[in-house]
Amino acid sequence: MSIQENYELAKKAYEKWGINVEEVIEKLKNVPISIHCWQGDDIGGFEVNQKELSGGISVTGNYPGKASTPEELRADLEKALSLIPGKHRVNLHAIYAETNGEVVERDQLEPKHFENWVNWAKENGLGLDYNPTLFSHPKADDGLTLSHPNEEIREFWINHCIGSRKIGEYFGKELGTPALTNIWIPDGYKDIPSDRLTPRKRLKESLDKIFAVEVDEKYNLDAVESKVFGIGSESYVVGSHEFYLNYAMKNDKLCLLDTGHYHPTETVSNKISSMLLFSEKLALHVSRPVRWDSDHVVILDDELKEIALEIVRNDALDRVIIGLDFFDASINRVAAWTIGTRNMIKALLSALLVPNEYLKQLQEEGNFTERLALMEEFKTYPFGAVWDYYCEKMGVPVRESWLEEVKAYEQEVLLKR
């Protein structure tokens, strides 16, 4: 049967449960995913005095074709975006500034260093998000930045974060959609600390200084991101979940939850509903931890589907800012973007094709038998037929046919670098 015929059959199956599939597709079209640029070059960036990757971050593999210039990276992103249905965003780190060969320290970065990115985003109808880069730098070599006991080092990073918020504001003004500027720092200690409070006190004071500088929230949204541990900070992380959760709530900032930044027995999906009760908006970095914060490419696993369900069933598609954060240098990097982003969208589509209101009603009535039965049956409903139709309608390859385009791009472009 054709894609259209399969779709019509699937549509009838969902309509029996009051699910308007056409409305679902229209809703899905308007959900942007923020695609991280750093998958394309293994978090190298384009600083003139480029430093070796550090800060508890590791990228493994040496697959050929890594982008080594801004033009190459943008071309690779364009290729991936052509294989992904919908209109999306691109997430940048400060190290992706373009300084025309001039050494510009991070605390001196300005909007002008990102003009090429903004012009490219305009041409492609994309929004941009931003992150200050507080790793891979001599002033972060001892694993401390905004919580550093040295005031001069702290001030350097404070100024970098202030400048980053202004760059985010510039993105928002130029592109007509607010940028999410997210602060993550690697600060922590390898072994058990003798004082947990003082570094956190310094981090709080640093953040207060950063956010004291007025930036228009119409154009820039501030977020803070926690972590449970990192390489070199196994025993203590200054910016823990509890720290940032309290800071964000008290200071009206977004709390960003990274799916790899929690204990292996914790799930971000279980945190979303609680966060939404107390925050107007919530930000996510969706990754796939394998035993630790390993940032594997996102697959359509149970946790990804549960995250999507929590967003959809709580009517929060316009309240949860979804970004991706993974990096794998052992496979084709364009394919990694395509696989991960398509899976995130698949998970949202699957969640939209569930009779969520009826399932809520069953729970309220205490009808747990029917609730369990239906939740299990809907796992094998024909959402794949709707996905194929959606891809075709959006003008991107259906099923695995996108892989042939990536293979051709690899031969024609990546392997010639």
**pLDDT tens digit sequence for 229-280:** 888 888 999 999 999 999 999 999 999 999 998 988 899 999 999 999 999 9
Task: Please give the Cα distance from 289 to 291 (Å, whole number).
Answer: 6
For 33, left (φ over 0), alpha (ψ -120 to 50), or beta?
Answer: beta
Residue 270 lies in a domain: yes
Residue 382 lies in a domain: no
Q: Which domain holds residue 60?
A: 31-352
Q: What is the set of active-site residues?
A: 184, 225, 227, 258, 261, 285, 293, 295, 325
Residue 365 lies in a domain: no
Q: What is the pLDDT of residue 87?
A: 95
pLDDT at 294 over 70: yes
Q: What is the pLDDT of residue 60?
A: 78
SS3 string, the chain, reads CCHHHHHHHHHHHHHCCCCCHHHHHHHHHCCCEEEEHHHHCCCCCCCCCCCCCCCCCCCCCCCCCCCCCHHHHHHHHHHHHCCCCCCCEEEEEHHHCCCCCCCCCHHHCCHHHHHHHHHHHHHHCCEEEEECCCCCCHHHCCCCCCCCCCHHHHHHHHHHHHHHHHHHHHHHHHHCCCEEEEECCCCEECCCCCCCHHHHHHHHHHHHHHHHCCCCCCCEEEEEECCCCCCCCCCEECCCHHHHHHHHHHHCCEEEEECCCCCCCCCCHHHHHHHHHHCCCEEEEECECCCCCCCECCCCCHHHHHHHHHHHHCCCCCCEEEEECCCCCCCCHHHHHHHHHHHHHHHHHHHHCCCHHHHHHHHHHCCHHHHHHHHHHHHHCCHHHHHHHHHHHCCCCCHHHHHHHHHHHHHHCHHHC
106: CB partners within 8 A, 6+ apart: 94, 132, 133, 137, 156, 160, 163
Amino acid, single-letter form, for residue 391: C
Per-residue confidence band for 178, with pLDDT thresholds at 50, 70 and 90 = very high
Residue 106 lies in a domain: yes
pLDDT, the chain, mean: 95
pLDDT at 56 over 80: no
Tens-place pLDDT, residues 105-131: 999 999 999 999 999 999 999 999 999
Per-residue confidence band for 55, with pLDDT thresholds at 50, 70 and 90 = low
Residue 26 lies in a domain: no
Total number of domains constituting the chain: 1
In 3D, which of 255, 92, 256 has the Cα closest to residue 171? 92
Tens-place pLDDT, residues 353-378: 999 999 999 999 999 999 999 999 99
Task: Please give the Cα distance from 293 to 303 (Å, whole number).
Answer: 15
Tens-place pLDDT, residues 183-194: 999 999 999 999
Q: What is the mean pLDDT of residues 21-43?
A: 96
Residue 20 lies in a domain: no
CATH, residue 243: 3.20.20.150
Per-residue confidence band for 53, with pLDDT thresholds at 50, 70 and 90 = low
Residue 184 lies in a domain: yes
- Residue bearing the bigger pLDDT, 333 or 51: 333
Q: What is the pLDDT of residue 293?
A: 83
pLDDT at 309 over 70: yes
pLDDT at 332 over 70: yes
Residue 344 lies in a domain: yes
pLDDT > 90 fraction of the chain, expressed in percent and rounded: 89
In 3D, which of 82, 88, 99 has the Cα closest to residue 45? 99
Tens-place pLDDT, residues 374-397: 999 999 999 999 999 999 999 999
